């Protein structure tokens, strides 16, 4: 793994998350945690779930290995693009036509009045999926060229669009604000598409795709076998790479049966959990995956192991440090970021408890991303999907057990326990000998030392803030 690629991804993700937290801060202050914020988060849940699936792994990890191995890569790429885009457009139209039923399926605990408020927002937000697929497709081709900056920094455009809507409509009625935010989601997605097309043209990718599209009808038979191989790998890759996102989706579904505001508390806590997961684990996996794929294709296994060793030590230290800091400062973090305006002290306490439940799963979810790369690079997507299914099954079972005694914090804890199952099963699939080989990094003592330092620093900060927060 090239550290430059990792830091490019991390810097871009950090920039986006800074704008994201500004957005969340404004939303918490302007909307608070109530029925209007709940229906907005439900409306954005489906497209945001698919965004994470497409943009943060599943599409790239099934597309890129097949693209690299293809004898006609540009034909293969445009054929897939055409199929997916038509399918997603049809799906979006279906959601528009049947939005009340889709809304009820996503949030079964909503009553008829709340479903009526939320369903138009669900219909609007779902079209973001079509836009983000185009982004993910072009991002995978840019990634193959080892260009990461546009994708990493481009995600900020969504948050900037939503911040603009919040500032423009902050004095309007809450329902009008959430409608404005929904249209801003589409504006942000369109801006991301435009940015990726611009860079694809600069690198010559767009021109190659246009040329291949012109030949597609006459030469499509050359890639039929490759397309069948991809389709067989894609759905397993979706499930295998999306356990944390699917777990959060299940949390929202179950939280719709809890008191008003529970969905919003889960959203804000999950946003804090997702920050280090994206900033470190997703950034490292994105930078590492192309090199591991090419090394395994060429039979250079030790080269892939060496790259993975550095990534493992880096993630162990950074994720361990983030876990330690959050365990000590969970209440202070939530209070500092969100407690103002309509977001009160009770909201802070509930969100901080949920954050504790989520942060227990940071290490397993993050490290599982690293080790699962070996399964995807070796075209073992179905095996990864079976592992994810077992993990998700444990998560759902524990969620049903814990929601009654612990409410929303119980859902977060169930998600984390499912993450530990995912991590353990992924290590078994990769193989004990290979896992131990990857873990034999000379940087492990540094990683453990950084975690300990982070914990001590967090205790020092907590003591210094005593009486101020």
Give the CA dihedral 336, 173, 39, 43, nearest 10 degrees.
-100
244 has a pLDDT exceeding 70:
no
CB 24 within 8 A of CB 338: yes
Q: What percent of the chain has pLDDT over 70?
A: 93
pLDDT of residue 54: 59
Give the CA dihedral 232, 234, 237, 242, nearest 10 degrees.
-140
303 has a pLDDT exceeding 60:
yes
Q: How confident is the model at residue 2 (pLDDT cuts 50, 70, 90)?
A: low
| Phi/psi of residue 220, nearest 5 degrees | -65, -25
19 alpha-carbon distance from chain centroid:
16
Task: Provide mean pLDDT across the span 29-42.
Answer: 80
Using the structure block, give the residue that is written with the tokens 């060793």: 309
Q: How confident is the model at residue 251 (pLDDT cuts 50, 70, 90)?
A: confident
CB atoms within 10 A of CB 35: 19
Task: Give 117-158 as a DSSP string.
Answer: HHHHHHHHHHTHHHHHHHHHHHHHHHHHTT--HHHHHHTHHH
Measured at the CA of 18, the angle between CA 15 and CA 23, to 5 degrees, comes to: 130
| Phi/psi of residue 305, nearest 5 degrees | -65, -45
pLDDT of residue 430: 93
Handedness of CA 263, 129, 178, 119 (dihedral sign): negative
pLDDT per residue over 19-35, tens digit each? 887 888 888 888 877 78
pLDDT of residue 247: 72
pLDDT of residue 403: 93
pTM exceeds 0.75, yes or no: no
pLDDT per residue over 154-174, tens digit each? 889 999 999 999 999 988 888
Nearest CA to 152 out of 316, 315, 7, 369 is that of: 7
Residue 55 Cα distances to 195, 241, 449, angstroms: 15, 11, 33
pLDDT per residue over 313-353, tens digit each? 999 999 999 999 999 999 999 998 888 877 889 999 999 99
Average pLDDT over the chain reads 86
277 has a pLDDT exceeding 70:
yes
pLDDT per residue over 62-93, tens digit each? 777 778 778 888 888 898 899 889 988 999 99
pLDDT of residue 240: 64
What span, in angstroms and rounded, lies between the C-alpha atoms of 158 and 185?
Answer: 6
Helix axes 301-338, 262-276, angle to 10 degrees: 140
Interacting residues of 439 by C-beta distance below 8 A, sequence separation 6+? 309, 312
Two structure tokens written together for 60: 């790239």
1 has a pLDDT exceeding 60:
no
What span, in angstroms and rounded, lies between the C-alpha atoms of 245 and 421?
Answer: 15
CB 451 within 8 A of CB 458: no
- Give the residue with greater pLDDT, 153 vs 46: 153
- Max Cα-Cα span within the chain: 73
243 has a pLDDT exceeding 70:
no
Interacting residues of 318 by C-beta distance below 8 A, sequence separation 6+? 276, 280, 450
Interacting residues of 163 by C-beta distance below 8 A, sequence separation 6+? 19, 22, 23, 26
């Amino acid at each position: 793994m090239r550290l430059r690629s990792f830091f490019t991804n991390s810097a871009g993700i950090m920039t986006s998350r800074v704008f994201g937290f500004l957005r969340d801060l404004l939303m918490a202050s302007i909307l608070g945690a109530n029925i209007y914020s709940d229906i907005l988060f439900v409306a954005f849940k489906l497209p945001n779930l698919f965004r994470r699936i497409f943009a943060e792994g599943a599409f790239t990890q099934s597309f890129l290995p097949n693209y690299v191995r293809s004898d006609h890569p540009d034909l293969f790429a445009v054929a897939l693009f055409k199929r997916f885009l038509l399918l997603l457009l049809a799906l979006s139209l279906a959601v528009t036509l049947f939005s009340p039923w889709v809304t009820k399926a996503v949030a079964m605990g909503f009553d008829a009045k709340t479903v009526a408020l939320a369903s138009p927002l669900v219909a609007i937000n779902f079209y973001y999926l079509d836009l983000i697929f185009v982004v993910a497709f072009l991002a995978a081709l840019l990634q193959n060229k080892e260009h990461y900056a546009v994708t990493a920094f481009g995600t900020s455009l969504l948050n900037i669009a939503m911040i603009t809507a919040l500032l423009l409509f902050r004095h309007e009625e809450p329902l009008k604000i959430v409608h404005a935010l929904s249209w801003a989601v589409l504006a942000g997605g369109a801006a991301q598409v435009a940015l990726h097309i611009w860079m694809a043209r600069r690198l010559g990718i767009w021109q190659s795709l246009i040329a291949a599209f012109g030949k597609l009808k006459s030469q499509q038979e050359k890639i039929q076998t490759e397309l069948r191989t991809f389709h067989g790998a894609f759905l397993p890759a979706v499930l295998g790479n999306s356990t944390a996102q699917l777990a959060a989706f299940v949390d929202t579904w179950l939280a719709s049966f809890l008191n008003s505001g529970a969905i919003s508390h889960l959203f804000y806590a999950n946003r804090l959990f997702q920050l280090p997961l994206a900033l470190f684990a997703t950034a490292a996996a994105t930078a590492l995956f192309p090199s591991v794929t090419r090394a395994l294709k060429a039979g250079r296994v030790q080269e892939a192991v060496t790259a993975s060793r550095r990534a493992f030590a880096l993630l162990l230290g950074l994720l361990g440090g983030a876990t330690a800091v959050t365990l000590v400062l969970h209440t202070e973090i939530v209070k500092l970021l969100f407690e103002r305006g309509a977001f009160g002290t009770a909201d802070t306490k509930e969100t901080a408890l949920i954050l504790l439940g989520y942060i227990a799963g940071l290490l397993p979810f993050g490290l599982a991303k690293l080790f699962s790369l070996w399964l995807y690079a070796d075209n073992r997507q179905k095996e990864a999907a079976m592992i994810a299914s077992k993990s998700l099954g444990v998560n759902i079972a524990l969620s049903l057990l814990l929601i009654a005694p612990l409410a929303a914090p119980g859902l977060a804890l169930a998600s984390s326990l499912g993450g530990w199952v995912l991590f353990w099963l992924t290590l078994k699939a990769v193989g004990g000998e290979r896992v131990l080989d990857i873990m034999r990094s000379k940087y492990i003592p540094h990683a453990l030392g950084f975690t300990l330092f982070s914990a001590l620093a967090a205790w020092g900060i907590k003591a210094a803030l005593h009486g101020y927060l």
